[in-house]
Structure 1
Amino acid sequence: MAQTLPAAIAWWARMRGDQPVVILNGDVLTYAAYKAWSDRVAAMLIADGLEPGDRVAICSANSLAYVALIMGIIRAGGIANPVNFRYTTREIADLCETTEPRFAFAADDHIERMAAAGLAPRAMSEIDALRTGAPAILDRDVDPDAPVVIIATSGSTAKPKGVVFTHRTMTAYASNWALEETTSGPGSRIISLAPLNTSAGFVQLIHYGIQGCTLYMLPQFVAADALRLIEQEKINCFGAVPAFFEFIAALPEFAEADVSSLRYATAGGARVGRQLMDTWRAKGVTIRQIYGQTEVGGNATIMPEHLATDSPDKCGWGGLFNDLRVVRPDGSDCDPGEAGEILLRAPGMMVGYWRNPEETTKAIRNGWLYSGDIGKLDEQGLLTFVDRMKDLIISGGLNISAAEIERVVCEFPGVIEALAIAAPDPRFGETPLVVYHGDVEVDVTALIEYCGTNLSNYKIPRYVAFSPEPLPRLATGKLSKPALRQLYAGAHKRLTRVR
Structure 2
Amino acid sequence: MHANMDWLQSRVNISPDAQAVIDAVTDDSWTYKELYERANIIANYFVTKGVIKGDRVAILAPNHIGYLDFFFACMQIGAIFIPLNWRLGNNELTYVLQDSKPKLLGVSPDFKEKVNQTNVDAEIIEIASNDYYKHLTYERHDVFVELKEEDPLAMIYTGGTTGKPKGVVLSHRSILWNALNTIVSWDLSAKDVTLITTPMFHTGGLNVYTLPLLLAGGTVVLSPDFYPEKAVHDLIKYRCTVVLFVPTMYHMIIQTKEFQEATFPDMRVFVSGGAPCPHRIYEAFHEKGIAFKEGYGLTEAGPNNFYIAPEEAIHKIGSVGKPMMFNDIKIVKDDGTVAKANEVGELVLRGYHAFEYYWNKPEETAEVIRDGWIHTGDLVKQDHDGYVFIVGRKKDMIISGGENVYPLEIEHWLEANERINEAAVVGLPDEKWGEIVTAFVSLKADVTEEELKEYCNQKLTRYKVPKKFYILEELPKTHVGKINKALLKEKYSLDQEKV
TM-score (norm 2): 0.90
Shift of 1:373: 0.9
Distance 1:416 1:20 in 2: 59
Q: Are 1:88 and 1:453, in contact at CA under 8 Å, matched by a contact in 2? A: no
Distance 2:291 2:306 in 1: 16
Amino acid of the residue matched to residue 45 of structure 1?
Answer: F
Distance 2:385 2:31 in 1: 43
Q: Which residue of structure 1 aligns with residue 132 of structure 2? A: 129
Deviation per CA, 1:157-213: give whole Å up to 9, x if none. 32111111011110011111212122x212310121211211211224323222222
Question: Where in structure 1 are there 5+ consecutive unaligned residues?
Answer: none
Q: Are 1:317 and 1:381, in contact at CA under 8 Å, matched by a contact in 2? A: yes
The aligned runs of 1:7-156 (5 Å cut-off) are 7-24=6-23, 25=25, 26-120=27-121, 122-125=124-127, 128-131=131-134, 136-143=140-147, 144-156=149-161
Q: Which residue of structure 1 aligns with residue 407 of structure 2? A: 402
Shift of 1:3: 7.1
Distance 1:273 1:415 in 2: 34
Q: Which residue of structure 2 aligns with residue 375 of structure 1? A: 380
Amino acid of the residue matched to residue 21 of structure 1?
Answer: A
Deviation per CA, 1:84-143: give whole Å up to 9, x if none. 112221111222232222232322232232232230451424894324899954323251
SS in 2 for 1:130: helix
**Aligned pair in 2 of structure 1 residues 277, 425: CA closer, same or farther (>3 Å)?**
closer
Distance 2:291 2:341 in 1: 26
Distance 1:171 1:301 in 2: 17
**Aligned pair in 2 of structure 1 residues 415, 274: CA closer, same or farther (>3 Å)?**
closer
* Pair 1:455-2:457 in alignment: no
Distance 1:28 1:235 in 2: 15
Q: Which residue of structure 2 aligns with residue 488 of structure 1? A: 492
1:292 aligned residue (293, 297, 305): 297
2:176 aligned residue (171, 176, 181): 171
Distance 1:494 1:272 in 2: 20
SS in 1 for 2:264: coil
Question: Where in structure 2 are there 5+ consecutive unaligned residues?
Answer: none
* Pair 1:388-2:384 in alignment: no
Amino acid of the residue matched to residue 337 of structure 2?
Answer: S
Distance 2:389 2:479 in 1: 28
Q: Which residue of structure 1 aligns with residue 218 of structure 2? A: 213
Shift of 1:484: 3.1
Q: Are 2:158 and 2:167, in contact at CA under 8 Å, matched by a contact in 1? A: yes
**Aligned pair in 2 of structure 1 residues 411, 46: CA closer, same or farther (>3 Å)?**
farther
Q: Are 2:440 and 2:475, in contact at CA under 8 Å, matched by a contact in 1? A: no
Distance 1:332 1:274 in 2: 32
SS in 1 for 2:339: coil
Instruction: Judge which range, 127-136 or 482-491, deviates more.
Output: 127-136
Deviation per CA, 1:337-394: give whole Å up to 9, x if none. 1111111112211112111111111111111111111111111221011111133222
**Aligned pair in 2 of structure 1 residues 444, 302: CA closer, same or farther (>3 Å)?**
same
TM-score (norm 1): 0.90
Q: Which residue of structure 2 aligns with residue 323 of structure 1? A: 328
- Aligned length, in residue pairs: 492
Q: Which residue of structure 2 aligns with residue 359 of structure 1? A: 364
RMSD: 2.7
Distance 2:494 2:365 in 1: 36
Distance 2:81 2:407 in 1: 26
Amino acid of the residue matched to residue 328 of structure 1?
Answer: K
Shift of 1:332: 0.6
Distance 2:244 2:227 in 1: 14
